[in-house]
Amino acid sequence: MPFYTVNNQKIHVIEAGHPNRQVALMIHGWSSSWYAMSPLIGLMSQRFRVLAIDLPGYSQSPKLPQRTTIEDYADVLAELIEQVADGPVVLVGHSMGGMTSLVIAEKYPALVERIVLICPTITGKLSTYINAVVFPITFMERFGLARLITAVEGVVVGITDRIMRPASFAERTGITEQDYSRPGAMPAV
């Protein structure tokens, strides 16, 4: 079925995978379409019933009658989820689709099992902290202070790398380099 209708709003959908599996709803970003998610559909459809959508106003989905917000997209997609899924779904959001996924999860937590964010556009405290660290670099670039940028950049990048660095397997499990060098000393994980 190329379209679903939600509250008189047509939503263009590309479907793949077995119809009895858990739904993975793929939400594209701004100025895009379902096709942006096409490289993932084949792989995802091996495990999920994949629905790659065109948000209202993009590609083959007609626009909403009112000026549209992220929350409006979230409301429409929550209705779509209730229509097509037997239980919580996996949301896969790219860019603005990531923002939309987060709003769906916040407003309708019972509809969402997990979220996959691909290059999301996120607002909030984390974004504010990152922007506060990165702003001096963009300010210096604007005013041609290249030498100062070079001197400061290493420090700033080191800070942002530490803030954004995921815990390594070794840190999470407590395994050390010495454990690898002593046979039988590796703890069970």
Strand-pair category, 3-6 with 9-16: antiparallel
Residue span(s) of the chain under CATH 3.40.50.1820 come to: 3-118
Q: Which of 30-34, 48-52, 63-67, 156-160 is the most confident on average?
A: 48-52
Q: Which of 121, 85, 106, 104 is nearest to 13 (CA)?
A: 85
Would you place residue 121 in the very low, low, confident or very high pLDDT band (cuts 50, 70, 90)? confident
- The CATH code of domain 3-118 reads 3.40.50.1820
Residue 161 has pLDDT above 90, yes or no: no
Backbone angles phi, psi at 127, to 5 degrees: -60, -40
Please provide the average confidence, as pLDDT, over all residues in the chain. 81
**Count of C-beta atoms within a 10 Å radius of residue 74:** 21
Residue 138 has pLDDT above 90, yes or no: no
**DSSP state letter for 36:** G
Strand-pair category, 49-53 with 9-16: antiparallel
pTM (2 d.p.): 0.66
- What is the SS3 assignment for 9? strand
Q: pLDDT by residue (tens digit) across 52-97?
A: 999 999 999 999 998 889 999 999 999 999 999 999 999 999 999 9
Token readout for 20 is 């009895």
